[in-house]
Amino acid sequence: MHITDRTLELDCGKLTPTFWQRLAAGLAPLTFLFRVFRNRMEINALHDLNDTQLRDIGLTRADLTSAFLASTFFEDPSEHLTRSARNRWRLQLFRFHEE
C-alpha cells in the first residue's frame, strides 16, 4: 500500500453556523412581523395629516386606503405606498417635461 492510496476527506466548505447566527436566523421572522406591524401603525398615523400634507409627500387618502386593501395582514403596506408615491412623482415629472 502506498501512502497516496489513503486520503482523508475534509468538509471544509461547509461551516456550521454559530449560536448567534442561528439565533439571528430564528428571530428574523419575528423582526419581519414587528416591522410590518410598526409600518401599519405609521400608515394609520398618516390619516391624521391633511390633504395638503399628504400631497407634499406624494400621497392621497385613496393611496392610504388602497395600501391596506391591497396587502394581506402579513404583508407590508408601506411598499404599496412607496410605489404609489414614486408613480405619482414620475407622472408629474413627465407632465412637467411635456410643457
For the stretch 8-58, pLDDT in tens is 666 666 778 899 999 999 999 999 999 999 999 998 899 999 999 998 888
Query: Is residue 1 over pLDDT 60?
Result: no
Residue 93 CA: distances (Å) to CA of 42, 63, 89: 27, 19, 6
pLDDT (0 to 100) of residue 45: 92
pLDDT at 94: 77
pLDDT at 11: 64
What is the pLDDT confidence band of residue 75, given thresholds at 50, 70 and 90?
A: confident
Residue 10 contacts residue 35 (beta carbons within 8 Å): no
Give the mean model confidence (pLDDT) for residues 60-74.
Answer: 87
Neighbours of 88 (CB within 10 A): 15
Closest CA to 32 of 67, 79, 84: 79
Helix (H/G/I), strand (E/B), else coil: 72: coil
Which pLDDT value is given to residue 71? 84
Q: What is the mean pLDDT of residues 49-71?
A: 89
**Greater confidence, 72 or 36?**
36
